[in-house]
Chains A and B, each alone.
Chain A
Amino acid sequence: MAKHNSKTKPAKNITAPGISVSAGIVMGKALFVGRDLGAPEESELSAAEARKEVKRFEKALRQSREQLEGLRQQVAEVIGEHDARIFDAHLLIMDDDKLTREVKENIIQQKRNAEYIFQKIFERYTQALSKVDDPYIRDRIADIRDVANRIIKNLRGEPADDIRNLDHPRIIVAHDLAPSDTVSMTKEQVLGFVTRIGSRTSHAAIMARALQLPAVVGLGDSFQQIHNGDMLILDALRGTVIIDPDEKTIKRYKQRIKDQEKWFTMLESELALPTETKDGFRVQLAANIELPEEVDEIRSSFGVGIGLFRSEYLFINQPEAPSEEEQFQVYRQLAEKIYPQSVIIRTLDIGGDKFLSSQFSNEINPFLGMRGIRLSLSNPSAFKVQLRAILRASAFGKVRIMFPMISTLEEVKEALRYLQEARQELDAQGIDYHRYMDIGIMIEVPAAALLADKLAPYVDFFSLGTNDLIQYSLAVDRANPQIAYLYQPTHPSLIQLLENVVHVAYEHGKWVSICGEMASDSTLVPLILGLGIHELSMSSVSLPLVKRLIRRIRMYDAENLVREARQCGTSREVQTLCDQFIQNFVPDMFESNDND
């Protein structure tokens, strides 16, 4: 597998550091996924050559069409007709006679190569479309670029980068990955992800963890060292990517890959044991999910509840919002399948970096804009459709509801008023629901963390959304690689905010959980437990490791850790304390039990 085509060239063996967002080590060839065509190369042709060039263009069109039809069929069979429709739009664009006529005429008239002419004309169309004042249409520019990419690749004789047609699985390399890029990826075709930008919470990271694939994001400028087809070692345990490794490195990593399998097996064997510290404190673990299908695995492999169901994934990539009935069916199945455990359904959290296809995303600063509960409250009829669907599902299991992006008391009251209206509507129709469903809010805005004592009387629980809480506290855009270092989960201010929320929750007899990525960072788990947060919800892939850790520490030591952390003035000091904690109390954390 690790055969080298470099007979004369020495291996580059470049180690590029990034951020590990999903654990594991893999080795394989790089496959670029992206829409950046680069500058078109221009060459002059004779009249005779131009006529041949038209033929070459027609051939590339035919090839592209065949590939697309094949793809469409494959996706329809493997994934479903709905997803396959993406390719109808592609095929239609390819069939645009006006465009192809224009390209052919221009090749003859201007006597230039097909790539050059085609790309120039395509760019003109995409520019015209990008000016259209309709987000639906602007979304389609991505489709057009996909088609253009495919045709140009066929013109250049390059293999089309269809992950579905791969003989071997590859490591996907991209500037960033969008939901439309990953929609049809499966574990059989993909070894892992490497991206130039991004963080623990970007889509690539979330998808990688959902698919249980290793991923390293935020490679920054060293990303440019990677070329399509390069051999890569993706070491998401250490957070590095090794580009074009030498034989020695490959050998070393083959051993490591073998070891990690043993380690993962061992982790799995501990899953059935109770989640309890050495001094007998029970900790509640739960899983964050975004796709309803994930629930089966959560139930069978982990036996925990759902601490966060991100309902927005029912809305994203859909031409229109799902109806009450459609939503109800999804929520009901979740509730039934996870029973006797509970599921926390978070109402639509759109905005920030996630948008509906129907929504204008032209805010200058979307993370400070119309998102989460703000959007729901601005559209009460759509909000109530979701509330009714969730209420109806509550009759079929243990369902809890949670509102995202709360920053004021008025928002809580208003959301509750709509919930009450939804209840009354159901009463009037004689539809059953659970009357005392737990209601919670996300604490992810510093204002809400500080206002917790005023919010507490209105809710049953708080859920700490640390990803956004960190971002808003430190005023750092986590997707901006230049300031990504400021995204500091151990910042002393964050500890103060969390302590305040926990304190208020205990005082008011409310429960508090954490559903940010912080909960799955094994070095931070002792800190979280020590703060008094005993419910942790995370991507399922992190559950085995966190469980192993919890079973190896004492709550007593974790509380001491917090006492020391309170004295710190910098994130680095707190992080050092946390790292030392692991070294002192669980030195065998990353080792498998049998030592050979």
Chain B
Amino acid sequence: MKTEQELFRSFTIHNQLGMHARPAALLVQTASQYQADIKIIRDEEEIDCKSILNVMTLAAAQGATLKFVARGEDAENALNAIESLFEDKFGEA
């Protein structure tokens, strides 16, 4: 088996309106800039972070914590970029 970097990180949603359509779009656009395979883990399933249709089914509210897993060379950078999105409240209130 190929030794591939696999990183886990969790981020909390701070913007009032939660993961609605616009933050979902931002998240997908950001994730898509990286080679790494990025997933969000919900219950037992993995949600493809580069698929807008999948991310929109999350509908996570303010205060919810999302667990991310990234596999690939630029996994670290990808997660950092995603982290700053969350910290920035997706540019919202």
Partners in one complex: yes
Contact B51 A88 (CB under 8 A): no
Q: Is A97 an interface residue (CB 8 A)?
A: yes
Interface string of B54-92 (1 = CB under 8 A from A): 101101010000000000000000000000000000001
Q: Is A363 an interface residue (CB 8 A)?
A: no
Q: Which residues of the other chain, B, contact A139 by a CB distance below 8 angstroms?
A: 21
Contact A96 B25 (CB under 8 A): no
Determine the distance from Cα of A10 to Cα of B92 in the docked complex, in whole angstroms. 60
Q: Is A129 an interface residue (CB 8 A)?
A: yes
- Also in contact, A92 and B22, with CB within 8 A (given A98-B48, A99-B53, A320-B17): no
Q: Which residues of the other chain, A, contact B13 by a CB distance below 8 angstroms?
A: none
Contact A136 B25 (CB under 8 A): no
Determine the distance from Cα of A132 to Cα of B18 in the docked complex, in whole angstroms. 13
Q: Which residues of the other chain, B, contact A96 by a CB distance below 8 angstroms?
A: 51-53
Q: In whole Å, how far is B18's beta carbon from the nearest beta carbon of chain A?
A: 7
Q: Is A589 an interface residue (CB 8 A)?
A: no
Q: Which residues of the other chain, B, contact A136 by a CB distance below 8 angstroms?
A: 17, 20-21
Q: Is B38 an interface residue (CB 8 A)?
A: no
Contact B25 A89 (CB under 8 A): yes
Determine the distance from Cα of A533 to Cα of B59 in the docked complex, in whole angstroms. 51
Determine the distance from Cα of A96 to Cα of B50 in the docked complex, in whole angstroms. 7
Q: Which of A89, A125, A128, A320 contacts B21 (CB 8 A)?
A: A89
Q: Is A284 an interface residue (CB 8 A)?
A: no
Q: Which residues of the other chain, A, contact B54 by a CB distance below 8 angstroms?
A: 98
Q: Is A358 an interface residue (CB 8 A)?
A: yes
Contact A137 B51 (CB under 8 A): no
Contact A129 B56 (CB under 8 A): yes
- Also in contact, A134 and B25, with CB within 8 A (given A97-B50, A98-B51): no
Q: Which residues of the other chain, A, contact B22 by a CB distance below 8 angstroms?
A: 319
Q: Is A140 an interface residue (CB 8 A)?
A: yes
- Also in contact, A140 and B51, with CB within 8 A (given A88-B25, A92-B25, A320-B17): no
Q: Which of A60-109 contact B (CB under 8 A)?
A: 88-89, 92-93, 95-99
Contact A129 B57 (CB under 8 A): yes
- Also in contact, A97 and B59, with CB within 8 A (given A92-B25, A136-B20): no
Q: Is A144 an interface residue (CB 8 A)?
A: yes
Q: Is B40 an interface residue (CB 8 A)?
A: no
User: Which B residue's beta carbon lies closest to that of A131?
Assistant: B57
Determine the distance from Cα of A133 to Cα of B48 in the docked complex, in whole angstroms. 20
Contact A134 B52 (CB under 8 A): no
Contact A137 B20 (CB under 8 A): yes
Determine the distance from Cα of A96 to Cα of B28 in the docked complex, in whole angstroms. 9
Contact B21 A137 (CB under 8 A): yes
Determine the distance from Cα of A132 to Cα of B55 in the docked complex, in whole angstroms. 11
Q: Is B29 an interface residue (CB 8 A)?
A: yes
Counting chain B CB atoms within 10 Å of each CB, the highest count among A98, A129, A134, A320 belongs to A134
User: Which A residue's beta carbon lies closest to that of B50?
Assistant: A97
Q: Which residues of the other chain, B, contact A93 by a CB distance below 8 angstroms?
A: 52-53
Q: Which residues of the other chain, A, contact B53 by a CB distance below 8 angstroms?
A: 93, 96, 98-99, 125, 129, 144
Interface string of A380-408 (1 = CB under 8 A from B): 00000000000000000000000000000
Q: Which of A98, A132, A358 contacts B17 (CB 8 A)?
A: A358
User: Which B residue's beta carbon lies closest to that of A319?
Assistant: B22
Contact B56 A132 (CB under 8 A): yes
Determine the distance from Cα of A302 to Cα of B57 in the docked complex, in whole angstroms. 50
User: Which B residue's beta carbon lies closest to that of A124?
Assistant: B53
User: Which B residue's beta carbon lies closest to that of A98?
Assistant: B51
Counting chain B CB atoms within 10 Å of each CB, the highest count among A128, A133, A137 belongs to A137
Contact A132 B59 (CB under 8 A): yes
Determine the distance from Cα of A304 to Cα of B45 in the docked complex, in whole angstroms. 62
Q: Which residues of the other chain, B, contact A95 by a CB distance below 8 angstroms?
A: 32, 52
Q: Which of A206-242 contact B (CB under 8 A)?
A: none
Q: In whole Å, how far is B32's beta carbon from the nearest beta carbon of chain A?
A: 8
User: Which A residue's beta carbon lies closest to that of B60?
Assistant: A134
Q: Which of A140, A320, A358 contacts B56 (CB 8 A)?
A: A140
Interface string of A105-145 (1 = CB under 8 A from B): 00000000000000000000100110011101101100010
Determine the distance from Cα of A163 to Cα of B50 in the docked complex, in whole angstroms. 31
User: Which A residue's beta carbon lies closest to that of B54?
Assistant: A98
Q: Which residues of the other chain, B, contact A320 by a CB distance below 8 angstroms?
A: 17, 92-93
30 contacts between A and B (CB under 8 A): A92-B25, A93-B52, A93-B53, A95-B32, A95-B52, A96-B52, A96-B53, A97-B50, A97-B51, A98-B48, A98-B51, A98-B53, A98-B54, A128-B57, A129-B57, A132-B56, A133-B59, A134-B20, A134-B59, A134-B61, A136-B17, A137-B20, A137-B21, A137-B56, A137-B57, A140-B56, A319-B17, A319-B20, A320-B17, A320-B93
Which residue numbers of B lie inside 8 Å of A, CB to CB? 17-18, 20-22, 24-25, 28-29, 32, 48, 50-54, 56-57, 59, 61, 92-93
Which residue numbers of A lie inside 8 Å of B, CB to CB? 88-89, 92-93, 95-99, 125, 128-129, 132-134, 136-137, 139-140, 144, 319-320, 358
The 9 residue pairs across chains A and B that have the minimum distance between CB atoms = A136-B20, A98-B51, A134-B59, A132-B59, A125-B53, A140-B21, A92-B52, A96-B51, A98-B48
